[in-house]
Amino acid sequence: MIKVNNPNFNPKIFASDILEESIKCAQLNANTHNFDNTLNFIISDLFKSFPKYLKQLFDIVIFNPPYLPSLQKFTESNNKTRSDVSWDGGPKGIEVIMRFLCEVKDFVKKDAYIYFISSSKSDLTQLNEYIKKLGFKNEILAKKHIFFEDIILNKLEIEAT
């Protein structure tokens, strides 16, 4: 992490994850880099546990979601482990992202930017249709082939009506 030495840069930053152990790890990192006074941590299934006063307040939201399709054995039974939530984005790899997109709209300002990662291994056609249906404009900022997939950095804005 880079600390910005600009006295006018005083952002309120919230970091969230569904797993308590991920939040503990992020807290340790923040502490190591002297960021622990700047960050607020929330254990939450997406925005479920976010306080209502944060609605319509965020300028920027960044989400590195679980973006790979579930393994067949997970779709047929329910034997996921806790750590599988870090990569398993649902049967088509987009279900967690779609839930996120639906919820994030309530927490951002009208001119906010939302950045998230997706994968060529997921159903991008359905995801892009859903993005349009929710009224977002999507710009692909970067794409990199790594191992077995293209990793895609997306930037969303709420389309002006």
Ligand X SMILES: C[S@@+](CC[C@H](N)C(=O)[O-])C[C@H]1O[C@@H](n2cnc3c(N)ncnc32)[C@H](O)[C@@H]1O
Give the footprint of ligand X on this chain (CB under 6 A). 17-19, 22, 45-46, 64-66, 85-86, 96
* Residue number, nearest CB to ligand X: 64
Q: How far apart are CA 107 and CA 92, in angstroms?
A: 25
List alpha helices for 78-123, DSSP H.
95-104
- 30: number of Cβ within 10 Å: 18
The residue among 110 and 152 lying less far from ligand X, judged by its C-beta, is 152
- Shortest distance in whole angstroms from residue 116 CB to ligand X: 11
CB-nearer residue toward ligand X: 96 or 156:
96
Going by C-alpha positions, the residue among 155, 101, 158, 160 that lies closest to residue 127 is 101
- How open is the CA angle 122-50-85, to the nearest 5 degrees? 35
CB of 160 vs ligand X, minimal distance in Å: 29
Smaller CB separation from ligand X, 137 or 142: 142
- Give 65 or 93: the residue with its C-beta nearer to ligand X: 65
